[in-house]
Amino acid sequence: MNRRKVLSWLTLSWISGIVSVVIGACTNRTSTSSTPAPKAEAAPGGFIKVGQTQDLDKNGRILQTLQGNQKVLVVRDPKNADTLHALNPTCTHQGCPVDWKQDSQDIFCACHGSTYTPDGAVAKGPASEPLESYDIKVEGDAILVKPQAS
């Protein structure tokens, strides 16, 4: 093999590696949490039990599938421990999944870098719309969420 052919192969390999990384970064990702989500249970008044306060305190968040493919992300407000937020965990920029980042106390979209505050407001774009919020209440230790009608 001559030098030109070797350089061509190396360049092609490098380009294909970069393309693979770019494509992987732009695809939808699901949470890689090893902690199984608690089972959602129907409750009176259209609310659905998504977990216990102990689950939230232990994991930092609850990520649950409700009815159909509707999902909910429940986080505790770091500024007021008595306040919980229930949000649709789908980025308003291009529909990628978002998740709670315990270390920075915000909600982050890994696809394009949008960041949301715990109440779903946009902290950093490219997203320009807040996350959809759901009604939430705590009864005893049970966390109940009322999803939007699909």
What are 98-131's pLDDT values in tens digits? 999 999 999 999 999 999 999 999 999 899 999 9
Mean pLDDT of 45-63: 90
pLDDT at 26 over 80: no
| Triad 59, 117, 79: Cα angle to 5° | 70
Q: What is the pTM of this model?
A: 0.70
Give me the pLDDT at residue 21, please: 66
Q: Is the dihedral of CA 51, 54, 55, 57 positive or negative?
A: positive
Distance CA 88, CA 148 (A): 10
Q: CA-based Rg of the chain, rounded to a whole angstrom?
A: 20
11 — phi, psi (to 5°)? -65, -45
